[in-house]
């Protein structure tokens, strides 16, 4: 439940969030474009096409690998937070339906179904 969420993030989680925030800006894309523009004419200096390609391939592979890991962490935490919110809304709606069940008996079946759906994300993965 939302009241049980501590809000404390580990050092890695804070770092992943910060990196995600930084890479989401237009300046990061501009930096990547500049990196490619600086790399492209470096062929004239290096002269060897294998070294020239190896430099950009290695740099982009390392950056991509690290960003995927960091952004996956951020995405999972965001998905978990949304799921907690949905569970809280469904739980509150089920409570409201229970209160209204005396006036509208057809809500009883729907309320039970809704209550079974709360926390379903943890049951589906098992």
Report the distance separating Cα 27 and Cα 76, nearest Å: 25
Question: In the numeric block, which tokens belong to residue 120?
Answer: 């379903």
Residue 70 and residue 19 in contact, taking contact as beta carbons nearer than 8 Å: yes
R_g (Cα) of the chain, nearest Å: 25
- pLDDT band of residue 65 (cuts 50, 70, 90) is very high
Report the distance separating Cα 115 and Cα 94, nearest Å: 6
pLDDT at 3: 55
C-alpha dist (Å) from residue 118 to 20, 26, 121: 30, 38, 8
pLDDT at 7: 66
pLDDT at 72 over 70: yes
Question: Which residues, in sequence order, are CB contacts of 65 under 8 Å at separation 6+?
Answer: none
Question: In the numeric block, which tokens belong to residue 84?
Answer: 């907690």
Per-residue pLDDT tens digits for 18-54: 888 888 889 999 998 998 898 888 878 777 778 888 8
Residue 36 and residue 56 in contact, taking contact as beta carbons nearer than 8 Å: yes
Residue boundaries of the structural domains of the chain: 10-124
């Amino acid at each position: 439940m939302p009241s049980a969420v501590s809000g404390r993030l580990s050092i890695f989680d804070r770092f992943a969030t910060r990196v995600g925030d930084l890479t989401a800006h237009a300046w990061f894309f501009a930096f990547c474009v500049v990196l490619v523009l600086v790399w492209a004419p470096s062929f004239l200096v290096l002269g060897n096409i294998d070294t020239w390609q190896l430099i950009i391939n290695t740099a982009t592979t390392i950056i991509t690998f690290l960003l995927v890991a960091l952004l996956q962490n951020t995405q999972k935490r965001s998905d978990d937070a949304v799921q907690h919110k949905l569970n809280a809304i469904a739980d509150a709606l089920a409570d409201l339906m229970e209160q209204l069940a005396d006036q509208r008996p057809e809500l009883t079946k729907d309320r039970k179904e809704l209550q079974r759906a709360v926390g379903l994300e943890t049951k589906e993965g098992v």
